[in-house]
């Protein structure tokens, strides 16, 4: 059976949570598609959103490989993101105070190496100790790195930030000039002009089929999205493979009970270090993408709020679950960007003599934090294991042929046993 | 009184575990004070003593969880004093814990698969350079885990969540998993604490069977009936030091041991 030949059967095999998430994703995709067709969602902006969501998904994957797999509490997500962004920016940008002008590939490699070195440096003193020490040290590290970036003007341009970062494909054959060389393309979803669907009875009339014009910025955004999809695909593939391996099993043992892993002869310090570096590399990868997406980085990009968005994403998705991390990253971006539109919504009620107008003008920012807070509270109360917790046994593929009985009761779920 | 401590028999042949003059202090508290004993290959050696005698501290010192302040630990003739737990495990010594450690989010057989040592799949690099090697090792380990679960007559639990089984079953799983690590000597810390009588007998039977197949055991246990039935010799600890060693009958009738337990002359 597969999704192509028997979608209904596959769907029925999913857990209720998976079904809910699938329906939600499909509905949201349809909604976005609809927005594109109506012309209310600009395709270039849509591509930007997709890139941003994938970037958050990358960060969540990185944190998941530290916290979700191994139980390492890392509060310096934003710092490793910043190291990635600044690493490549300082190597490639025209305004770099140290070594600009290199190919972005060099920037990528340097960013990853620096991230790995810093991860090892912070890991050496803290990973031998109890988990809380890493949490405290990483909190400090995040602030130290932000301050260095802000104050070491000779190294980083300080608060002015680094400008003039080339796009990632600068200097590549074909791809470097791809956005400019693509012709302006006009898409006409409904041939023969626009169609008005439904008369505006309750004020809900709409028109589809306006022409969509794709220009250079769209092609550039498309290229960026392809890049981040490659990053995301590679990271997801690697993490998925190692998560199902004996290596990942040791990490999960450490998360549940480090002493047990030690008693069984595992060098837990080494495993924790590997997991920490791996996660930091994935976070830095997100930073590299960001620098070449935004073409400008500044110390504000290292603000701790990013760290907490990513934590929310991982907890929301279900720690220890890679697809949960992906989903969480997308949801966080949906909330972050979606709340911007709250400003435009106003509701007017005509009560005869008086007219009451509800307006969300200016509420976008506060609503964002409120929504995220609410989600966390509701989640902790009703589904502490997250939306998509790891469901099935993680044994190296191909070595078990029979699926255990009743996989719909996930091992984690069975413990809480609340909604089954 | 210290002068009544005759110590352990230190002249054994074919020793798997040798503990010499082990010392450990926590601030002003002396938890282990010049403790020496030997575990002979093929035996089930019991380690008993009143509360606070330093039994668990000694286990932690031997297995590398604590660093000793003095003395020496040898496993299979290898000096492992002050080594990391994984290095002690590499020398052939595996331990279990007093309270069963539950592996959240794993099935019983997954939890079992943590046991085998030196799995190729535990190397990050080999996952990508040698996936076939990883797969064949995993298959072999899985088959081995299944075989051991069957021997322990708990194979019906294989695909149960590891957090869903009873405390007694957990103890069996722990013992089974420790066997997957293929130890020369297994240190069991109160294997039957909080286990119902039926499972208690099961555990005793399993330990005896494994011992007959060649595994050496060293067991801390509070349940006298259990330890006296199973262990020979029995080493008695008191106040961080070895009080005496002997066959179960001798230990049971020894006045000093009775005194130590009743706190008579402490």
What one-character-per-residue DSSP string does A167-232 give? PTTTT-TTGGGHHHHSPPEEE-SSTTS-EEES--SSS--EEE---EEE-HHHHHHHHHHHHHHHHH
Residues with Cβ within 8 Å of B119's Cβ and at least 6 positions away in sequence, in order, are A246, B134, B137, B138, B141
State residue B85's pLDDT score.
Answer: 92
Q: Looking at chain A from residue 332 to 351, which residues have their Cβ under 8 Å from any Cβ of chain B?
A: none
B114/A242 Cβ within 8 A: no
Strand partners, A207: A196
In chain B, whose CA is at the least distance from the CA of A278? B124
From first to last of the 420 residues of chain A, give the pLDDT tens digit.
466 677 777 777 777 778 888 888 888 888 888 777 777 778 888 888 899 999 999 999 999 999 989 999 999 999 999 999 999 998 888 877 787 778 888 889 999 999 999 999 999 988 888 778 888 988 999 999 999 988 888 888 888 888 888 888 877 777 777 777 777 777 766 665 555 555 444 444 455 556 677 777 888 888 889 999 999 999 999 998 898 899 999 999 999 889 999 999 999 999 999 999 999 999 999 999 999 988 889 998 888 889 999 999 999 888 888 888 999 999 888 888 877 776 666 666 666 667 666 666 666 677 788 888 888 898 888 888 888 887 777 777 766 655 444 443 444 443 333 332
- Among the partner residues A250, A395, A411, nearest to B142 by beta-carbon distance: A395
- Is the minimum CB–CB distance between A184 and chain B shorter than 8 Å? no
B198 band by pLDDT with thresholds 50, 70 and 90: confident
A399/B138 Cβ within 8 A: yes
Domains of chain B plus CATH, in order, are 2-102+181-262 (3.40.50.300), 103-162 (no CATH)
**ipTM for the assembly:** 0.89
- The answer, yes or no, to whether residue B72 has pLDDT greater than 70, is yes
Mean pLDDT over B87-104 rounds to: 86
Q: Which residues of B touch A278 (CB under 8 A)?
A: 124
In chain B, whose CA is at the least distance from the CA of A400? B139
State residue A416's pLDDT score.
Answer: 37
- Is the minimum CB–CB distance between A240 and chain B shorter than 8 Å? no
Mean pLDDT over B45-50 rounds to: 90
In chain B, whose CA is at the least distance from the CA of A261? B114
Residues with Cβ within 8 Å of A170's Cβ and at least 6 positions away in sequence, in order, are A92, A103, A104, A176
Instruction: Render pLDDT for B222-243 as a digit per residue (tens, 0 to 9).
Output: 888 888 889 888 999 888 888 8
- Is the minimum CB–CB distance between A263 and chain B shorter than 8 Å? yes
Structure tokens at A340: 């911007």
């Amino acid at each position: 059976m597969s999704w192509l030949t028997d979608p209904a059967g596959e769907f029925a095999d999913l857990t209720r949570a998976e079904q809910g998430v699938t329906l939600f994703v499909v509905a949201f995709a349809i909604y976005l598609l609809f927005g594109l067709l109506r012309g209310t969602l600009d395709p270039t902006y849509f591509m930007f959103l997709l890139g941003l969501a994938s970037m958050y998904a990358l960060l969540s994957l990185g944190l998941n490989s530290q916290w979700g797999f191994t139980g390492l509490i890392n509060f310096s997500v934003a710092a490793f993101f910043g190291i990635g962004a600044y690493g490549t920016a300082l190597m490639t940008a025209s305004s770099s105070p140290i070594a600009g002008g290199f190919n972005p590939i060099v920037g990528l490699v340097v960013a990853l190496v620096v991230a790995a070195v810093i991860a090892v440096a912070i890991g050496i003193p803290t990973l031998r100790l109890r988990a809380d020490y890493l949490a405290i040290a990483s909190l400090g590290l995040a602030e130290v790195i932000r301050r260095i970036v802000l104050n070491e003007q000779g190294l980083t341009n300080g608060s002015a930030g680094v400008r003039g970062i080339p796009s990632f494909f600068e200097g590549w054959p074909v791809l470097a000039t791809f956005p400019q060389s693509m012709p302006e393309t006009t898409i006409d979803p409904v041939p023969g002009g626009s169609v008005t669907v439904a008369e505006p009875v309750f004020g809900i009339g709409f028109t589809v089929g306006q022409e969509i014009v794709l220009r250079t910025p769209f092609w550039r955004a498309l290229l960026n999205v392809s890049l981040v999809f490659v990053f995301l695909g590679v990271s997801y593939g690697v993490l998925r493979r190692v998560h199902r391996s004996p290596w990942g099993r040791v990490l999960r043992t450490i998360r549940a009970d480090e002493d047990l892993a030690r008693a069984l002869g595992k060098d837990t310090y080494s495993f924790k270090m590997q997991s920490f570096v791996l996660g930091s590399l994935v976070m830095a990868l997100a930073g590299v993408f960001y620098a070449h997406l935004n073409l400008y980085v500044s110390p504000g990009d290292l603000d701790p709020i990013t760290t907490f968005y990513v934590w929310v994403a991982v907890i929301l998705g279900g720690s220890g679950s890679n697809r949960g991390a992906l989903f969480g990253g997308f949801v966080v971006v949906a909330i972050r960007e979606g709340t911007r539109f709250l400003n435009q919504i106003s509701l007017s009620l005509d009560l005869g003599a008086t007219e009451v107008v509800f307006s969300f003008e200016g509420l976008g920012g506060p609503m964002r934090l409120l929504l995220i807070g609410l989600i966390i509270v509701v989640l902790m109360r009703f589904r502490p294991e997250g939306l998509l917790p790891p469901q099935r046994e993680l044994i190296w593929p191909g070595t078990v042929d029979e699926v255990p009985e009743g996989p719909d009761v996930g091992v984690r779920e069975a413990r809480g046993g609340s909604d089954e | 009184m210290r002068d009544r401590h005759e110590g352990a028999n230190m002249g054994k042949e074919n020793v798997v575990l040798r503990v010499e003059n082990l010392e450990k202090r926590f601030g002003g508290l002396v938890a282990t004070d010049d403790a020496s004993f030997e575990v002979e290959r093929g035996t089930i050696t019991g380690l008993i003593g009143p509360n606070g005698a330093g039994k668990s501290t000694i286990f932690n010192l031997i297995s590398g969880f604590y660093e000793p302040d003095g003395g020496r630990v040898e496993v299979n003739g290898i000096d492992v004093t002050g080594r990391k737990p994984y290095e002690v495990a590499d020398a052939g010594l595996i331990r279990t814990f007093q309270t069963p450690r539950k592996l959240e989010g794993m099935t019983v057989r997954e939890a079992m698969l943590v046991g085998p040592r030196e799995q190729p799949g535990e190397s990050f690099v080999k996952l990508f350079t040698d996936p076939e090697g990883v797969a064949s090792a995993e298959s072999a380990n899985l088959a081995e885990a299944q075989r051991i679960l069957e021997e322990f007559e708990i194979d019906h639990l294989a695909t149960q969540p590891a957090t869903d089984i009873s405390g007694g079953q957990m103890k069996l799983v722990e013992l089974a998993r420790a066997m997957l690590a293929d130890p020369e000597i297994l240190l069991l810390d109160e294997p039957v604490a909080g286990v119902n009588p039926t499972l208690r007998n099961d555990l005793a039977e399993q330990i005896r069977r494994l011992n007959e197949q060649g595994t050496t055991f060293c067991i801390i246990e509070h349940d006298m009936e259990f330890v006296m039935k199973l262990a020979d010799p029995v080493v008695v600890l008191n106040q961080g030091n070895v009080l005496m060693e002997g066959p179960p009958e001798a230990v049971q009738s020894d006045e000093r041991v009775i005194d130590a337990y009743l706190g008579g002359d402490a």
